Amino acid sequence: NQPLHELDPAIAAALDAELERQQSTLEMIASENFAPVAVMEAQGSVATNKYAEGYPGRRYYGGCEHVDVAEQIAIDRVKELFGAEYANVQPHSGASANQAALFALAQPGDTILGLDLAHGGHLTHGMRLNFSGKQFNVVAYHVDTATGLVDMAELERLAKEHRPKVIIAGWSAYPRRLDFAEFRRIADEVEAYLWVDMAHFAGLVAAGLHPNPVEYADVVTSTTHKTLGGPRGGIILAKQAFAKKLNSSVFPGFQGGPLEHVIAAKAVSFKVAASEEFKERQRRTVEGAQILAARLTATDAREAGVNVLSGGTDVHLILVDLRASELDGQQAEDRLHEVGITVNRNAVPNDPRPPMVTSGLRIGTPALATRGFTAEDFTEVADVIAETLKAPSPFGTADAAALKARVKALADKHPLYPGL
Ligand code: PLP
């Protein structure tokens, strides 16, 4: 029972350094967040020791009486949170949830219709090296490059032409809301299942700030660690008619023993997500992203070739288009890293540069909103980002030092995990 620092100083040092990094920099990767201490406590609990193959009340192992309680609470809370008839809280990750969902709805070789990866879709929506692209016949829809919005006319045309088994609505990099009613209409027209992957915007849905896909889709998947702010993991929600198929697709289809410690942590995060404090935080998240979009568009950053795709955002992220800038995505990411802001480079639709370089950035506000950032703070963040991106090359050490000091002042104003 030695503490980590004694038993394994090398790992303890790496984790201490990671805590320090999270505390001292501004985390703006759109898919990241800071889980509450109580969530991490549940995730670091003795439930990690327990085998519990099966579902609450129907396990293949003894001694499951307590993890049954925690898993049933997680199921009940998430059903209530999203108004779902059915929930499975066992998927180890978003990708695992998607794999289980897709194989419950379709057979290998069937046609699926998803948003192109290069236009904001996710790997599991049909990328050629992913299970979805290898085992299914993939047809991709796109965004209209003039407006940056999903081209619903193309979606309908492709659906009628290819008659997919499943239509996938969801994204990893898209700053606007999807029209779920229209997706449903098109799916019904071609007798396809509608699967919505709300991994990114689930927190906004829980807070009532985004249309709820559960009302429209046959199956909805999500991660629990992005806007939802819980432990890393996945969930599946659905109409009751799909319950049996989905349960057996998760276990024994793709997984063995569920991660009961993570499931306990998911339950805690669903409780948090039902609170007023969470709603207020999600409002600041969207407001922060809208401030970023507005400041980057209004300031002279625009003259330096920094544009915001679709002209703004309805969600927790913005997509910066650097095609007219002297910086590529990699250089812009590196510059922001230098001043203490963490973002990820991201392809823009029809990107002229390769995927490892790109011509864009994806910038998100969930983690900073969790940290307590206000509209005023987000305005200062936006100005630091604009000044960093518009500074002429080479990026001088004097510029970087002044901007870094402004980042540090913001980080100090909102301490993260004090006492850890
Ligand atoms: N679905 C979407 C839309 C995502 O953006 C992501 C992650 O980025 C996933 C699924 C996969 O989640 P995970 O990384 O937990 O497998």
pLDDT, tens only, 263-319: 999 999 999 999 999 999 999 999 999 999 999 988 677 778 899 999 999 999 999
Both tokens assigned to 36: 């509450």
Pairing of strands 307-308, 111-115: unpaired
Complex-level ipTM: 0.99
Measured from the Cα of 121, ligand 1's closest atom is 3
122 C-alpha to ligand 1 centroid (Å): 7
CA of 311 to the centre of ligand 1 (A): 25
Distance, CA of 111 to CA of 102 (rounded, Å): 11
Average pLDDT for residues 172-193, to the nearest whole number? 98
Return phi, psi of residue 70, to 5°.
-65, -40
Please check the confidence at residue 103 and state whether its pLDDT lies above 80.
yes
Alpha carbon nearest to ligand 1 atom 13, residue: 94
Q: Identify the residue whose C-alpha is closest to ligand 1 atom 10.
A: 94
Across 37-49, average pLDDT = 98
- Please report the pLDDT score of residue 302 as a whole number: 76
Name every residue whose Cβ is closer than 8 Å to that of residue 209 and which is 6 or more positions away in sequence. 279, 282, 283, 286
Q: Which residues contact 297 (CB under 8 A, 6 or more apart)?
A: 307, 308, 311, 312
Please indicate if the annotation marks 288 as binding a ligand: no
Scanning 163-238, the segments in alpha helix (DSSP H) are 180-189, 202-206
pLDDT at 301: 74
Question: In the prediction, which pLDDT does 209 show?
Answer: 98
pLDDT digits (tens, 9 = 90+) for 343-400: 999 999 889 999 999 999 999 999 999 999 999 999 999 999 999 999 988 898 888 9
CA of 398 to the centre of ligand 1 (A): 38
pLDDT at 3: 96
Which backbone phi and psi does 6 adopt, to 5 degrees? -85, -45
pLDDT value at 29 more than 80: yes
Q: What is the pLDDT of residue 393?
A: 87
Cα of 231 vs centre of ligand 1, distance in Å, is 13
Catalytic residue among 226, 266, 335, 404: 226
Catalytic residue check, 182: no
Pocket of ligand 1 (CB under 6 A): 31, 93-95, 98, 122, 124, 170-172, 197, 199-200, 223, 234
Active site residue 232: yes
Say how many Å lie between the CA of residue 94 and the centre of ligand 1.
Answer: 5
121 appears as a binding residue in the annotation: yes
The active-site residue out of 111, 124, 223, 299 is 223
Note the pLDDT tens digit of each residue in 111-169: 999 999 999 999 999 999 999 999 999 999 999 989 999 999 999 999 999 999 999 99
What local confidence, expressed as pLDDT, does residue 81 receive? Answer: 98
Q: Residue 54's Cα: distance from chain center in Å?
A: 28
pLDDT, position 298: 83
By most ligand atoms within 8 Å of CB, the mutation choice from 89, 99, 119, 124 for ligand 1 is: 124
Q: What pLDDT is stored for residue 176 in this prediction?
A: 98
- Considering only CA atoms, which of 263, 220, 183 is closest in space to residue 101? 220
For the chain, the average pLDDT equals: 97
Quick check: 230 pLDDT over 90? yes
- Candidates 197, 260, 328, 351; catalytic one: 197
- In degrees and rounded to multiples of 5, residue 126 shows phi and psi of 125, 15
For 57, the token pair is 């009340």
In the residue annotation, 223 being an active-site residue is answered as yes
Q: Among this protein's residues, is 53 annotated catalytic?
A: yes
Pocket test for ligand 1, best of 223, 228, 232, 235 (most atoms within 8 A of CB): 223
Counting beta carbons within 10 angstroms of the beta carbon of residue 306, is it exposed (0 to 12), middle (13 to 18) or buried (19 or more)? buried
Annotated catalytic residue: which of 53, 156, 179, 383?
53
Atom of ligand 1 nearest to the CA of 173: 5
Check residue 46 and give its pLDDT. Answer: 98
Catalytic residue, candidates 79, 177, 185, 232: 232
Nearest CA to ligand 1 atom 12: 94
- Give, to the nearest 10 degrees, the angle between helix 9-24 and helix 397-413: 90
Task: Output phi, psi for 419, to 5 deg.
Answer: 90, -10
Q: Measured from the CA of 234, which atom of ligand 1 is nearest?
A: 15
Classify 190 in phi/psi space as left (phi over 0), alpha (psi -120 to 50) or beta.
alpha
